[in-house]
Structure 1
Amino acid sequence: MKTLQSQNLTFFIPEPVEDAGANFFDTGISAGFPSPADDFKEQRLSLDEELVKNKEATFYARVSGQSMIGAGLDDNDLLVIDRSLEPENNKIAVCFLDGEFTVKRLRVEKGEVWLQPENPNYPIIKITEENDFVIWGIVTNVIKKLY
Structure 2
Amino acid sequence: MVTNSSERLTFFIPEAIEGASVPIFDAGISAGFPSPAEDFNEQHLSLDEELVKNKETTFYARVSGQSMIGAGLDDNDLLVIDRSLEPENNKIAVCFLDGEFTVKRLRVSDGEVWLQPENPNYPIINITEDNNFLIWGIVTNVIKKV
Shorter-chain TM-score tier:
over 0.9
Counterpart of 1:127 in structure 2 is 127
The residue aligned with 2:100 is 100
1:101-120 alignment runs, 5 A limit: 101-120=101-120
1:142 maps to 142
The residue number in structure 2 matching 1:6 is: 2
**In structure 1, what residue type is equivalent to 2:53?**
K
Is 1:17 equivalent to 2:13 in the alignment? no
Instruction: State the alpha-carbon separation in 2 of the partners of residues 85 and 113 from structure 1.
Output: 17
SS in 2 for 1:73: coil
Give aligned-pair identity as a percent: 84
Give the ranges of 4+ consecutive aligned residues of structure 1 lying more than 3 Å apart after TM superposition.
none
Tell me which amino acid in the other structure corresponds to 1:79.
L
Letter in 1 for 2:18: V
Quote the Cα distance in structure 2 between the aligned partners of 1:50 and 1:76: 21
| Runs (5+) with no aligned partner, structure 1 | none
Provide the aligned C-alpha RMSD in A: 0.9
- Normalising by the residue count of structure 1, what TM-score does the alignment of the two structures yield? 0.93
Task: Give distance in 2, aligned partners of 1:53 and 1:17.
Answer: 13
Distance (whole Å) between structure 1 residues aligned to residue 118 and residue 77 of structure 2 = 15
Looking at structure 2, the residues matched to 71 and 44 of structure 1 have their Cα atoms a distance apart, in angstroms, of 30
2:85 and 2:28 mapped to 1: Cα distance? 30
Q: 5+ residue gaps in structure 2?
A: none
Which residue of structure 2 lines up, in the alignment, with residue 70 of structure 1?
A: 70
The letter for the 2-side match of 1:143 is I
